[in-house]
Amino acid sequence: MIRWAICLALFFQAFGLCFAEDTLAPLVKRTVSAVVTIKTLKKTANSVGSGFVINPQGFIITNDHVVDKEDKVQVLFVKVVKGKHVQGKELLGRVILHEPKLDIAVIQVPAQNMPVLTIGNSEDVQQGDTVIAIGSPLGISNTVTKGIISNNDLEINGDSYIQSDVMLDSGNSGGPLIDQEGYVIGVNTLVLKDPQKKNSQKISCSIPINRVANLLAKKGIPFAVNSTNHKDAFTKSTAIANVTKEEPSNKFSIPLKVIACLFILFISSAIFILIRRRRRAFKEPEVKINLEQEPNVDIQLH
């Protein structure tokens, strides 16, 4: 009976592994190095923000209100070494584009071969999609928060935003909103809150990345884009020829949890077969009863 219980326990453990939620650690590991902290040269309450690299030659996207009309800013990079954040380079960046209407600015730093984030397609965003935000809330570099898309077309003052429940705070502005495939679908920009309610829920809003990509293409600023998702999204722009395209990998890979699930199922099946063989090998001797012989019965009356 104990052996059967062990088999069942192993089976249900394997079943649970097959349907367990995937960790987002691999996604964060391959995207976090392309996110930067931006500091303005003048020290104010809102002098820290976030940004992300869109081109190996040092082009960085952020919010225009982060750079605050300045022409030069400090850009801090963070490296991930053995799963830990290590302070990287600190470079002086030059603001090459201000677009206050869209609240987007572009910074260029003197660097080459930088890790980049790839532009996705915000038109494909659906309510319920899992997303992560990476930024520097309160100046804490490369902080990651997770949430879902609450509204893929929230209108604020005539402009469209992506609403999510990822936790954003001061310093997250300009950072990327990333989908589960690692593509940027939005630029984290603002938080809505009822000022009359102290503990009211914050609503996080991001600029759809397609609006940003159209601006970059018109200005001739190159960026990495997932061409299979966008198809003809930027064909009207004359600058699309400068865009760096990243083709998706065709390599087939088996998730680690599936391998673990199959291994546990194999072990439990082997134990089950072993138990059956042992039971057959050690059968109890059969007890034969001679029905022709009448049993001696002693009947007593009370």
First to last CA, the chain: 44
The type of residue at 159 is D
Is residue 65 part of the annotated active site? The answer reads yes
Choice among 65, 129, 150, 160 that is catalytic: 65
Choice among 103, 122, 206, 227 that is catalytic: 103
Is residue 173 part of the annotated active site? The answer reads yes
Angle between helices 256-281 and 2-18 (to 10 degrees): 160
Choice among 33, 47, 173, 204 that is catalytic: 173
Q: Residue 265: phi, psi to the nearest 5?
A: -65, -40
Of 34, 31, 22, nearest in space to 60 by CA? 34
- Please identify every residue annotated as catalytic: 65, 103, 173
